[in-house]
Structure 1
Amino acid sequence: MTLIKSISGIRGTIGGPVGENLTPIDVVKFTTAYVRLIAERNPGKKLVIVIGRDARISGEMVSNLVEGTLLACGADVINVGLCTTPGTEMAVITKKADGGIIITASHNPRQWNALKLLNASGEFLSDAEGKRVLAMAEQNDYDYPAIDGIGHVLSREDFNDEHIRLVLGLRLVDVEAVRRRHFKVVVDAVNSVGGIVMPKLLRALGCEVVELNCEPTGEFAHNPEPLPEHLTEISQVIVREKADLGVVVDPDVDRLAFVSEDGSMFVEEYTLVAVADYILSTQCGNTVSNLSSSRALRDVTERHGGKYYASAVGEVNVTTKMKEVGAIIGGEGNGGVIYPELHYGRDALVGTALFLTYLAKRGLTMTQLRATYPAYFASKNKIQLTPAIDVDKVLREIKERYRNEQVNDTDGVKIDFPENWVHLRKSNTEPIIRVYTEAKSMAEAEALAQRFIAEIKQICHIE
């Protein structure tokens, strides 16, 4: 089993040896180190930390450990319970807390959980701050306050309704325009917190909602990553119910994928593209996505007179670049929409509200809207890592082989060919090398991926 420490937080499988998995000892250790970091930034202050979690089976157990550790460290706690990742981020902002911990392994299977660590702005810790937490967690010199110094639970409160209210209040969310279209929407929330918030948001927008896998049991009805191969059930339900579209979220509701009225995938890469198209139609500005995201965002941005920028993979890298270039919309090609007017975090609720507003205003069907965008096809593959694979050596060799092409080594190695591209990088969240390609046909994208997988295996002497 696995424990992964990265820019995306502390993530691991439940149970097993300490230090090799996400065990109670590891949860306490990393939570303590996190509080020490926040305390360093706020000397002498009584800290307030927000906790939220998704509905996965281990969530309550891990939440109890985190809450108890925070109290033992002298921090006060606002526990928002079952709450989306963007909702917990928003709670940190609105409650003026000093930080937050989101207990979720996002798209990982049921045996995984994780601690996502936030600063006082409700954003993920920087790479440097994350490394500081990891270093402090290994020091084993913890000194906890005595009885009069322990923290208190300030409140246990739902934040989902407030999050919905803030989304619906945005100036570019036209609630009445969406209500007039009276969309029929199928929602697949993969048995997590999306089943609580997404139907409620959609009904507030006047949609007729068909709920699919919306009971927040944590027993995921299918692989929780919102990829086409996992979404056959919702495609069938959309056609059967004669729905206008389908909405799919991952367990913590920061990724968003749409399915068209004919059951075909709108493709999660185009979630951000469509939302950006709407935002850019109201004002000219810059956009940002990560290096693994579709060229379609660049094309749409330039069509509206803006400038597109690419960042390293990882939400904090995207938001850092967005602030640097003053981007008005950004995100990741995995269906993560970041709209700074609300907050700097991937948010499926704001993505849904903006998308439906645009769909309503354009008066188009899903397939008609999709046809207005450049046709790119992505192939997303991975190679399981073993101790024998030296990832850095692999990437150096690939970079050297293609030194005469347009190469970006900001995050792994991305090679931009005139008609397609390949991006190779070590995952932040799984023990794998990701091999992402994009081309003007799926056959071409898959052929390019297989070509580079073969090259990697040759370098590593893998059969």
Structure 2
Amino acid sequence: MTLIKSISGIRGTIGGKAGENLTPTDAVKFAAAYGQWLREYHDKDDLTVVIGRDARPSGPMIQQLVSATLSGMGIHITDLGLSTTPTVEIAVAQEKADGGIILTASHNPVQWNALKLLNEKGEFLNAAQGERILELVESGEFDFAPVEDLGEIHQNDAYIDIHIDEVLDLEWVNADLIREAGFKIVVDGVNSSGGIAIPALLKALGVEVVKLYCNPDGNFPHNPEPLKEHLTAIMEKVPAEKADLGIVVDPDVDRLAFISENGEMFGEEYTLVACADYILGKNPGNTVSNLSSSRALRDITEKHGGTYHAAAVGEVNVVAKMKEVQAVIGGEGNGGIIYPDSHYGRDALVGTALFLTHLAEKKIKVSELRASYPSYYMSKKKVTLTPELDVDAILVSLKNKYKDEDITTIDGVKIDFPENWVHLRKSNTEPIIRVYTEAQSQQAADELADRFIKELEEIAAKG
């Protein structure tokens, strides 16, 4: 059982002992720390917070605890109930709220849940803000309201529809073109809120929908991370239904993966590549992804005359870089699309609408679209080290060894070679180094990863 506190929120497994798992005690403490921080940050007492959750079974219990805690601090709640991460982000801005909380453990299994914290823009907190909340959790110094000043809780279940309307209103989403294409699409909503939101969006776009695991009861039918090894059912369902494609989202609907008409994975890394290709063709400019994302985005960006920029891993870092370079689109290689014309957050609804417009405009099959992009292959491995080893010193040694190569050190060490790259990052929670590589074949990517694992082990052995 696990409890992880970080600058981006708190997550853990439900049940067990307080302080070791995500128990009611821990949910209350963390919610109270967030409420206390909101008072400091906004320097006012009249505060409103938007709260929404995914469909996992612990969601209603955690939501009641969090809402009651903030109400006890005199903070008003706009309760979206079952919702998506991007929907909550949009609602914070639309409601002119002071913050937001998303109750979701994203792609983690059903026994997990989490509190993800937003600022008044509906964006994730930065590192300094997250650190302050952790300080407040440890101090336990919370001020609660007298009975006459308790916060009110208001239900609002309209925001998924509002979110869909906003997507349809985006300049480069062409609902008429999608409707004319007559797409038939299988949707795997992993029995969470995506099972509501994605079919509703597709219906509004005139798409024929075949639902697979779209009952939002939180009983995940497979591992909810949208990776190939977890998606056997939809990969079989798409060709069996003679569908044009399949759409897969994670439980909180910020990650997006596609299945080609032949039942093959389009590739999570290529979700962003395809959407960027479409937007850059309409509105040329810069793009951003994190250091562990595919080089294909750089290739597509440069093809359209823009400049690609890399950010440290983490959505908040990607968003900061996008704002700095005024990127027209960005995101993460795990299927997360960030489109500033909508909002600064990963959004599978936006990604779906952009992808379908792109496909309808090109009038080609999904497999043909995938074949039009540069082919890269990734390997993701790790090296386990003994706790007493200085991981930072090991990475510095490797950086010095390759000092004549194209090196980035904003998040671990990334070495860009002409034909491939390797990204080495230390874990914040365990003595391991993550080794990500990309090359022009799977064998080459695996061999590059194995080579650097050997080099890391040799440096570690020397002490």
> Does residue 234 in structure 1 map to residue 230 in structure 2?
no
In structure 2, how many angstroms separate the alpha carbons of the residues matched to 1:431 and 1:104?
A: 27
**Which has the higher mean CA deviation after the structures are superposed, 271-280 or 31-40?**
31-40
> Does residue 93 in structure 1 map to residue 112 in structure 2?
no
CA deviation profile, 1:186-226 (whole Å, cap 9, x unmatched):
11111111001111111111111111111112121111111
In structure 1, how many angstroms separate the alpha carbons of the residues matched to 2:384 and 2:75?
A: 40
In structure 2, how many angstroms separate the alpha carbons of the residues matched to 1:208 and 1:385?
A: 51
CA deviation profile, 1:422-448 (whole Å, cap 9, x unmatched):
112245799964322110001111122
> Does residue 43 in structure 1 map to residue 22 in structure 2?
no
Q: Is the 8 A contact 1:186 1:210 kept in 2?
A: yes
Instruction: Give the residue type in structure 2 aligned to 1:147.
Output: V
Alignment CA distance shift 1:251-1:130 (3 Å): same
Matched residue SS, 2:171: coil
Alignment CA distance shift 1:339-1:311 (3 Å): same
Q: Is the 8 A contact 2:105 2:114 kept in 1?
A: yes
> Does residue 418 in structure 1 map to residue 418 in structure 2?
yes
CA deviation profile, 1:218-243 (whole Å, cap 9, x unmatched):
12111111111111211111111111
Alignment CA distance shift 1:145-1:139 (3 Å): same
Instruction: Give the residue type in structure 2 aligned to 1:250.
Output: D
Provide the residue aligned with 2:188 in structure 1.
188
In structure 2, how many angstroms separate the alpha carbons of the residues matched to 1:248 and 1:335?
A: 10
Instruction: Give the residue type in structure 1 aligned to 2:289.
Output: S
Give the CA deviation at 1:404: 3.4
Provide the residue aligned with 1:214 in structure 2.
214
**Which has the higher mean CA deviation after the structures are superposed, 117-126 or 28-37?**
28-37
* % same residue: 62
Matched residue SS, 1:436: strand
Provide the residue aligned with 2:136 in structure 1.
136
Provide the residue aligned with 2:283 in structure 1.
283
CA deviation profile, 1:161-196 (whole Å, cap 9, x unmatched):
111111011111100000001111111111111001
> Does residue 176 in structure 1 map to residue 189 in structure 2?
no
Give the CA deviation at 1:383: 5.1
Matched residue SS, 2:139: coil
In structure 2, how many angstroms separate the alpha carbons of the residues matched to 1:275 and 1:304?
A: 13
Q: Number of residue pairs matched? A: 461
Give the CA deviation at 1:249: 0.4
Matched residue SS, 1:223: coil
Q: CA RMSD in A?
A: 1.8
In structure 2, how many angstroms separate the alpha carbons of the residues matched to 1:352 and 1:344?
A: 16
Alignment of structure 1 residues 130-169 onto 2, 5 Å: 130-169=130-169
Provide the residue aligned with 1:121 in structure 2.
121
Provide the residue aligned with 2:318 in structure 1.
318
Q: Structure 1: state its 5+ residue gaps.
A: none
Matched residue SS, 1:351: helix
Instruction: Give the residue type in structure 1 aligned to 2:154.
Output: L
Matched residue SS, 2:81: strand
Q: Is the 8 A contact 1:223 1:230 kept in 2?
A: yes
In structure 2, how many angstroms separate the alpha carbons of the residues matched to 1:254 and 1:389?
A: 36
Provide the residue aligned with 1:6 in structure 2.
6
Q: Is the 8 A contact 1:271 1:335 kept in 2?
A: yes
Instruction: Give the residue type in structure 1 aligned to 2:411.
Output: D
Provide the residue aligned with 1:435 in structure 2.
435
Matched residue SS, 2:108: coil
In structure 2, how many angstroms separate the alpha carbons of the residues matched to 1:218 and 1:430?
A: 30
Q: Is the 8 A contact 1:7 1:428 kept in 2?
A: no
Give the CA deviation at 1:300: 0.6
Q: Is the 8 A contact 1:381 1:434 kept in 2?
A: yes
Instruction: Give the residue type in structure 2 aligned to 1:30.
Output: F
Q: Is the 8 A contact 2:290 2:332 kept in 1?
A: yes
In structure 2, how many angstroms separate the alpha carbons of the residues matched to 1:292 and 1:420?
A: 12
Q: Is the 8 A contact 1:164 1:349 kept in 2?
A: yes
Alignment CA distance shift 1:453-1:189 (3 Å): farther
Q: Structure 2: state its 5+ residue gaps.
A: none
CA deviation profile, 1:4-62 (whole Å, cap 9, x unmatched):
22343211122223222212121111111111111112223410000000011211111
In structure 2, how many angstroms separate the alpha carbons of the residues matched to 1:429 and 1:65?
A: 27
CA deviation profile, 1:327-367 (whole Å, cap 9, x unmatched):
11111111000010110000000000010001000111111
* TM-score, with length taken from structure 2: 0.95
Matched residue SS, 1:211: strand
Instruction: Give the residue type in structure 1 aligned to 2:87.
Output: G
Q: Is the 8 A contact 1:8 1:429 kept in 2?
A: no
Q: Is the 8 A contact 2:33 2:140 kept in 1?
A: no
Q: Is the 8 A contact 1:83 1:193 kept in 2?
A: yes
In structure 2, how many angstroms separate the alpha carbons of the residues matched to 1:430 and 1:161?
A: 42
Provide the residue aligned with 1:347 in structure 2.
347
Provide the residue aligned with 1:376 in structure 2.
376
In structure 2, how many angstroms separate the alpha carbons of the residues matched to 1:172 and 1:341?
A: 10
Q: Is the 8 A contact 2:285 2:306 kept in 1?
A: yes
* TM-score, with length taken from structure 1: 0.95
Instruction: Give the residue type in structure 1 aligned to 2:118.
Output: L
In structure 2, how many angstroms separate the alpha carbons of the residues matched to 1:192 and 1:248?
A: 11
Q: Is the 8 A contact 1:226 1:257 kept in 2?
A: yes
> Does residue 259 in structure 1 map to residue 272 in structure 2?
no
Q: Is the 8 A contact 1:52 1:79 kept in 2?
A: yes
Q: Is the 8 A contact 1:11 1:429 kept in 2?
A: no
Q: Is the 8 A contact 1:81 1:158 kept in 2?
A: no
